[in-house]
Amino acid sequence: GLETPLKDGDELMLYPALAGGSHTFDELELHELALEFEEKPAQELLVWAIENFHPRLYIAWSGQVEDMVLLDMAWRINPDVRVFAVDTGRLHEETYRLMQEVEDRYGVRVEVYFPDAKDVEELTRKYGINCFYKSVELRHLCCHVRKVKPLLKALSQVDAWITGLRREQWASRHNIMKIEVDHDHGQIVKINPLADWSEREVWEYIKKNAVPYNKLYEAGYRSIGCEPCTRPVAPFEDPRAGRWWWEKDAPKECGMHCSIETGGFEKIADKVI
Ligand code: SF4
């Protein structure tokens, strides 16, 4: 359901002073706005986001169709919109090609954040280049090093971010609001304009507006992440079944959109030989 996350007696926190310093939102106000935007088109929410937060606003880009819809819509509102990507070092070549295509077509620079080189060296020297197949703990550690930490770096630069999360994608996403306070990332504002969109609606927008998309979709992919951890799915499978497919009963999340406790290198060291 979409009930308020606030309970009576909860303390209201104020969130970062926004672009121009004109207005500061509290959690209750953001929740009311989320309810208001629930029935409105994604574009209206993007207008609100850009008016209130740009240039301290990022669109998250990982080469998925949802990101392309948001970028295309936001670019039509303000061609200076800012886009960022986390380059884990393990992305598909098709994703890099699309990134270049995005830059050429929209005239934006995708601001790329990389993992810390020392972390990656430690991870791979200790556990091997493809350690994520060995255990769920190592998979989470790899996601922590290659995705979550660079994401934190990116989000420390802004007051709000826009994501392509959709409720139907996975159980952990069923309850997302269109506007949320991101408690995992410095209490910035997280905006999910496509929360109520279906996969079909996403593709309709892509086709209607001739938006470029990742060629991996033509090879049967329906969710795109790192190359070694993503595979195409059969038509009858859940679209996210192609992510970390060897893990059973795992969250199918990397920790970017929900916190996953890894404990870092120290904790893992006791467990892995
Ligand atoms: Fe590492 Fe796979 Fe996570 Fe990418 S998706 S960061 S390769 S574990």
Summarize pLDDT for 196-228 with one digit per residue, the tens: 999 999 999 999 999 999 999 999 999 899 999
* CATH number reported for the structural domain that contains residue 147 in this entry: 3.40.50.620
- Domain for residue 9, yes or no? no
**Residue 267: predicted pLDDT:** 65
- DSSP bridge partners of 86: 113
> Ligand 1 pocket check: which of 130, 147, 151, 262 to mutate, most ligand atoms within 8 Å of Cβ?
147
Looking from the CA of residue 90, the nearest atom of ligand 1 is 7
Q: Mean pLDDT throughout 75-89? A: 97
**Who lines ligand 1 at CB under 6 A?**
88, 90, 132, 139, 142-143, 146-147, 225-226, 228-229, 254
- Ligand 1 pocket test, candidate residues 124, 221, 229, most atoms within 8 A of CB: 229
Cα–Cα distance, 15 to 52 (Å, whole number): 13
Q: Are 102 and 71 in contact (CB under 8 A)?
A: yes
Ligand 1 atom 4: residue of nearest CA:
226
Q: Would residue 13 count as lying in a domain? A: no
Q: Tell me whether residue 238 is in a domain.
A: yes
118 pLDDT more than 70: yes
Among residues 240, 226, 252, the alpha carbon closest in space to that of 145 is found at 226
Please tell me the total count of domains within the chain: 1
Q: Is residue 4 part of a domain?
A: no
Q: Each residue of 85-111: pLDDT tens digit?
A: 999 999 999 999 999 999 999 999 999
Protein residue with its CA nearest to atom 6 in ligand 1: 143
Q: How many CA atoms lie within 13 A of 269 on its CB side?
A: 7
- pLDDT band at 13, cuts 50/70/90? very low
The mean per-residue pLDDT over the stretch 11-29 comes to: 58
Check pLDDT > 60 for residue 12.
no
**Distance (Å, whole) CA 48 – CA 230:** 34
Residue-level pLDDT at 128:
98
Mean pLDDT, residues 161-171 taken together: 91
Instruction: Examine residue 265 and state whether it is found in any structural domain, yes or no.
Output: yes
Which atom belonging to ligand 1 lies closest to the Cα atom of 243?
A: 5
Torsional sign, CA 213, 91, 50, 162: positive
Q: Examine residue 86 and state whether it is found in any structural domain, yes or no.
A: yes
Mean pLDDT of the chain: 88
Residue 259 scores a pLDDT above 90: no
Length of the chain counted residue by residue: 273
Residue 3 maps to a domain? no
Domain housing 39 = 19-271
189 occurs within a structural domain: yes
Q: Which helix (H) or strand (E) segment is 65 a member of? A: helix 65-77
Q: Quick check: 32 pLDDT over 80?
A: yes
